[in-house]
């Protein structure tokens, strides 16, 4: 116990010092709260991925490339910015000569088509008249040596021309059908594309509202953690103070035990001294009587033996210790009367329970304020609540949707007309391609029949009807060519003029970026087509740059540069909200007055011990008497010696008296001296215990009282400081949840909400629909049909020329051959008259 108390005081002071140092550093240590939760927000941005349209590669791609190269030769002029600007803004200011200058290549083609339209039907009419008068398209009149070569050459040329016509008409059939098949789905895809663009802005309010509504996630998290803030505060106070409170309570408990033991030892000491004093008062007369009798007996003359030695020892038969000389402790016992009144063990256990119940106590004391905090947390900041109201795109959403709707409504009649005229074009294309195919069939049948007729011409027994039929088929093809030349050239030029301008004016400029440059130039587009004005932006944006950013998946925030029109940070500024929470948290209080550390009764006990003067007892005076024997002479040895002397005496009376004295000394020693010796040993233990503990006991009592007083006085300040630190840590943790929300909103609004990929996708799909799926097959159709139309001219020429050689020859041999025939003339057999 002595060593425990000796070590406890410096450890207690060290514990208090460490506690103070931890409290000073506690402002930055927030690990006791544990790691903050990571909030998972539901993405508010809707998926607006417009599937790209791609024309599948095919065998006609090379034909499409050829047509594009041809059109690039026809239209060498760059994109007519001024002309298109005038067409879009002021149609009346368009000058015809500028249009003609730009369309020079098409004008040349128009002249060629006009000449074809004029000359071919005229030639056909003239040929028809000549045929009626049998002046052209007849037969070979005479057979000569070069006839076979001429006929073979014409047949080869006609066959090649027919094969070229066949290739052209097959391609024309395929492209005509391809154009018709893709025209319907392409026209139907236009409204779908516009519909996807309409949702580009119209869904933004709902998405922003969804973003604002998810402010409830940090609110719910903070509200949930507020339920445990009282326990957290109490636990923090308990954790940081236990290194001071536990040792102090242990010291109080140990000191209480020491106090109890010391008071017990002091009471034992006093009682023992009283008993010793009383025993000495009883013992001294008895010893004196025995001594006087022994001195009388041992001095008799008839005493035999070593009577002198026994006499000397009998003279020393007297008390050794005088306990009446020890200092009195009555005044100290008076000071410690009733001490200890407190049950230190129960008190320490109760104080430990009270200290361990600090988390629950703090939760109870902060419950009402936590409810107020929850009400404050449940309120939504004004900026977050109005997040969707001031968004600049929202004001233009109706205009954007209305503009797209107007475009859709205005396009719908035209698209229906386009479908109707496309049906007419397809029917006319099928008819004219069938005519060209019939011409090809006529040429092929004519050539086959003609060759068959030529092979049979050598046999005079076979008529020449096959050759004549072949010639007629060729002439039928010629007649169809002349008859349908005008519809063919008209259809070719009409489709060429439309498809060629779409390719050169729109598709080519779209691909090389000239169309974007034109749209980005201020003043080129009318206000109704100005994207910046439609969206209500403060400055114009580059459509080409916007297209590139949209293609990379950027959001409208970046593309439309909305940071110049909308202060997002102002709406995300929740400082007023957090300041209110901080003020509410700073008003949190925890009352630690219920932690007494030392009850009033225990304090009075310790103060009584402190003022008792226990340390002033002169213990050496006790030790001096304790170290002395109760009786100076050993009564046992003296009694044994008297017993021997009694046996050595001749005088029986003297011997008997000596024997009685020996027996009396033994009884006195047993009844009086031995109890006194036991009391002396008991006194020795009490004196030794008090001597060892009393000097430090007062100092330890003073230290414990001082520490209890200091800790009791500083406990509210320490608790308040810990509470402030815990509140700051808790506020920083809760603000972290709101910071997560603000960061998520910033990223969601600026990078994900209203992604404009549908804009770039719609533009790309529109280009694919217009250029790849409509214009390319359309242009390939007129190109193939033009191929056939212009190859009809050599087909007419070669068919007319070749048909002459398939008809019977009027005069088979020339003059030379006739003479040779006359040299070997065999006369005709004539009939005999009987």
Give the model confidence (pLDDT) of 329-339 as tens digits. Answer: 777 777 777 67
pLDDT of residue 830: 41
Are 633 and 719 found together in one domain? yes
Are 356 and 219 found together in one domain? yes
For residue 49, is it within any domain? no
Predicted confidence band of residue 322 (pLDDT cuts 50, 70, 90): confident
Select from 752, 781, 798 the last residue of a domain.
752
- Tokens representing residue 331 in the block: 């005044």
The pLDDT tens digits for 66-85 are: 999 999 999 888 888 888 88
pTM above 0.75, yes or no: no
The pLDDT tens digits for 380-419 are: 777 777 776 666 655 556 666 677 777 777 777 877 888 8
pLDDT of residue 4: 43
Are 419 and 505 found together in one domain? yes
Contacts for 576 with CB less than 8 Å, ≥ 6 apart: 381
What is the tally of structural domains in the chain? 2
Query: What is the average per-residue pLDDT within 672-676?
Result: 86
pLDDT of residue 96: 84
Predicted confidence band of residue 431 (pLDDT cuts 50, 70, 90): very high
For residue 96, is it within any domain? yes
Are 594 and 534 found together in one domain? no
Under 8 Å between Cβ of 791 and 481:
no
Are 241 and 358 found together in one domain? yes
Are 558 and 623 found together in one domain? no
CA distance 62 to 776: 11
Q: Is the pLDDT of residue 493 over 90?
A: yes
Of 114-128, 317-331, 583-597, which has the strongest mean pLDDT?
A: 114-128
- 504-530: b or e for each residue (b if 16 or more CB lie within 10 Å)? bbbbbbbeeebbbbbbbeeebbeeeeb
DSSP-H helix ranges across 299-391: 307-315, 330-335, 344-356, 358-378, 382-385
For residue 323, is it within any domain? yes
For residue 78, is it within any domain? yes
pLDDT of residue 458: 59
For the chain, give the percent of residues with pLDDT over 90: 13
Select from 721, 752, 783 the last residue of a domain.
752
Q: Is the pLDDT of residue 737 over 80?
A: yes
Are 248 and 369 found together in one domain? yes
User: Helix (H, G, I), strand (E, B), or coil: what is residue 459?
Assistant: coil
Are 349 and 462 found together in one domain? no
Alpha-carbon distances, residue 534 vs 320, 394, 779 (angstroms): 125, 11, 35
Q: Which of 368, 372, 361, 370 is nearest to 591 (CA)?
A: 361
Query: What is the average per-residue pLDDT within 207-217?
Result: 83
pLDDT of residue 169: 92
- Tokens representing residue 661 in the block: 């004295």
Range(s) of the domain holding residue 311 = 213-377+590-752
Are 543 and 412 found together in one domain? yes
The pLDDT tens digits for 778-819 are: 999 999 999 999 999 999 988 888 888 777 665 444 444 444
Calculate helix-pair angle for 229-298, 600-611, nearest 10 degrees: 40
The residue written with tokens 């001071």 in the block is 244
CA distance 626 to 684: 7
CA end-to-end distance (rounded Å), the chain = 187
pLDDT of residue 323: 80
CA distance 141 to 766: 64
Q: Which of 272, 310, 276 is nearest to 290 (CA)?
A: 310
The residue written with tokens 């040329």 in the block is 157
CA distance 833 to 577: 146
Q: For the chain, how long is the longest CA-to-CA vector? A: 245
For residue 180, is it within any domain? no
CA distance 521 to 523: 6
Under 8 Å between Cβ of 488 and 782:
no
Select from 752, 770, 798 the last residue of a domain.
752
Are 682 and 602 found together in one domain? yes
Are 437 and 554 found together in one domain? yes
The residue written with tokens 């005519």 in the block is 435
pLDDT of residue 173: 93
DSSP-H helix ranges across 203-228: 204-213, 216-226
For residue 262, is it within any domain? yes
For residue 335, is it within any domain? yes
More confident residue, 55 or 429: 429
Calculate helix-pair angle for 575-586, 358-378, nearest 10 degrees: 150
Alpha-carbon distances, residue 232 vs 29, 236, 367, 583, 805 (angstroms): 14, 6, 13, 19, 116
Contacts for 522 with CB less than 8 Å, ≥ 6 apart: 540
Alpha-carbon distances, residue 608 vs 50, 229, 267, 578 (angstroms): 92, 43, 15, 55
Are 746 and 760 found together in one domain? no
For the chain, give the percent of residues with pLDDT over 70: 83
For residue 310, is it within any domain? yes
């Amino acid at each position: 116990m002595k060593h425990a108390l000796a070590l406890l005081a410096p450890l207690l002071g060290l514990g208090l010092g460490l506690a103070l140092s931890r409290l000073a550093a506690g402002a930055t240590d927030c690990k006791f709260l544990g790691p903050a939760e990571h909030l998972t927000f539901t993405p508010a941005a809707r998926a607006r991925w417009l599937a790209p349209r791609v024309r599948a590669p095919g065998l006609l791609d090379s034909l499409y490339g050829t047509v594009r190269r041809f059109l690039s030769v026809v239209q060498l002029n760059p994109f007519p910015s001024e002309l298109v600007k005038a067409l879009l803004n002021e149609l009346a200011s368009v000058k015809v000569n500028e249009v003609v200058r730009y369309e020079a290549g098409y004008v040349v083609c128009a002249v060629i088509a006009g000449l074809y339209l004029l000359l071919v039907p005229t030639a056909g009419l003239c040929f028809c008249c000549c045929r009626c008068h049998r002046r052209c398209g007849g037969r070979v009149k005479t057979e000569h040596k070069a006839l076979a070569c001429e006929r073979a050459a014409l047949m080869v040329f006609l066959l090649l021309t027919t094969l070229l016509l066949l290739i052209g008409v097959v391609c024309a059939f395929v492209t005509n059908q391809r154009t018709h098949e893709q025209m319907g789905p392409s026209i139907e895809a236009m409204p779908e594309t516009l519909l996807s663009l309409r949702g580009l802005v119209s869904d933004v309010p709902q998405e922003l509202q969804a973003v604002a509504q998810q402010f409830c996630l940090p609110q719910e998290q903070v509200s949930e953690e507020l339920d445990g803030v009282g326990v957290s505060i109490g636990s923090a106070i308990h954790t940081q103070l236990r290194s001071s409170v536990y040792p102090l309570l242990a010291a109080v408990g140990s000191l209480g035990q020491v106090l109890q033991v010391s008071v017990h030892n002091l009471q034992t000491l006093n009682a023992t001294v009283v008993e010793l004093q009383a025993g000495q008062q009883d013992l001294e007369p008895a010893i004196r009587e025995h001594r006087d009798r022994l001195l009388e007996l041992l001095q008799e003359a008839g005493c035999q033996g070593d009577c002198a030695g026994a006499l000397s020892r009998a003279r020393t038969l007297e008390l050794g210790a005088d306990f009446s000389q020890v200092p009195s402790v009555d005044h100290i016992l008076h000071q410690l009367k009733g001490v200890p009144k407190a049950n230190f063990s129960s008190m320490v256990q109760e104080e430990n329970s009270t200290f361990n119940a600090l988390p629950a106590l703090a939760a109870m004391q902060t419950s009402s304020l936590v409810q107020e905090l929850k009400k404050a947390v449940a309120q939504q900041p004004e900026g977050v609540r109005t997040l969707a109201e001031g968004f600049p795109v929202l004001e233009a959403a109706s205009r954007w949707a209305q503009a797209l709707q107007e475009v859709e409504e205005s396009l719908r009649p035209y698209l229906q007309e386009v479908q109707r005229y496309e049906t007419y074009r397809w029917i006319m294309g099928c008819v004219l391609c069938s005519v060209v195919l019939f011409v090809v069939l006529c040429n092929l049948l004519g050539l086959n029949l003609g060759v068959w007729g030529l092979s049979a011409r050598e046999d005079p027994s076979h008529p020449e009807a096959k050759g004549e039929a072949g010639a007629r088929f060729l002439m039928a093809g010629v007649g169809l060519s002349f008859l349908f030349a005008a519809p063919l050239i008209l259809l070719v030029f009409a489709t060429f003029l439309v498809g060629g301008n779409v390719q050169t004016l729109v598709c080519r400029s779209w691909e090389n970026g000239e169309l974007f440059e034109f749209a980005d130039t201020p003043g080129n587009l009318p206000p109704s087509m100005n994207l910046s004005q439609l969206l209500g932006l403060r400055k114009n944006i580059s459509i080409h740059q916007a297209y590139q950013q949209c293609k990379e998946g950027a959001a409208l925030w970046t593309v439309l540069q909305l940071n110049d029109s909308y202060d997002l940070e102002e709406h995300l500024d929740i400082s007023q909200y957090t300041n209110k929470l901080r003020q509410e948290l700073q008003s949190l209080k925890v009352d630690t007055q219920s932690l007494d550390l030392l009850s009033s009764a225990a304090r009075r006990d310790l103060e009584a011990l402190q003022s008792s003067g226990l340390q002033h007892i002169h213990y050496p005076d006790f030790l001096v008497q304790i170290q002395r024997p109760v009786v100076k002479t050993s009564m046992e040895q003296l009694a044994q010696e008297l017993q021997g002397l009694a046996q050595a005496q001749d005088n029986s009376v003297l011997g008997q008296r000596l024997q009685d004295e020996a027996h009396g000394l033994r009884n006195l020693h047993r009844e009086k001296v031995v109890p006194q010796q036991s009391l002396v040993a008991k006194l020795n233990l009490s004196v030794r215990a008090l001597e060892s503990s009393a000097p430090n006991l007062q100092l330890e009592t003073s230290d414990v009282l001082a520490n209890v007083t200091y800790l009791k006085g500083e406990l509210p300040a320490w608790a308040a400081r810990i509470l402030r630190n815990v509140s700051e840590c808790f506020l920083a943790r809760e603000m972290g949840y709101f910071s997560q929300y603000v960061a998520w909103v910033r990223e969601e609004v600026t990078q994900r909400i209203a992604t404009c990929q549908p804009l770039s996708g719609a533009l790309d799909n529109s280009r694919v629909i217009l250029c790849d799926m409509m214009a390319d097959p359309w242009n390939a159709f007129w190109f193939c049909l033009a191929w056939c139309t212009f190859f009809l001219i050599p087909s007419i020429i070669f068919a007319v020329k070749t048909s002459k050689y398939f008809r019977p020859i009027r005069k088979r041999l020339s003059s030379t051959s006739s003479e040779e025939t006359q040299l070997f003339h065999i006369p005709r057999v004539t009939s005999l008259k009987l």
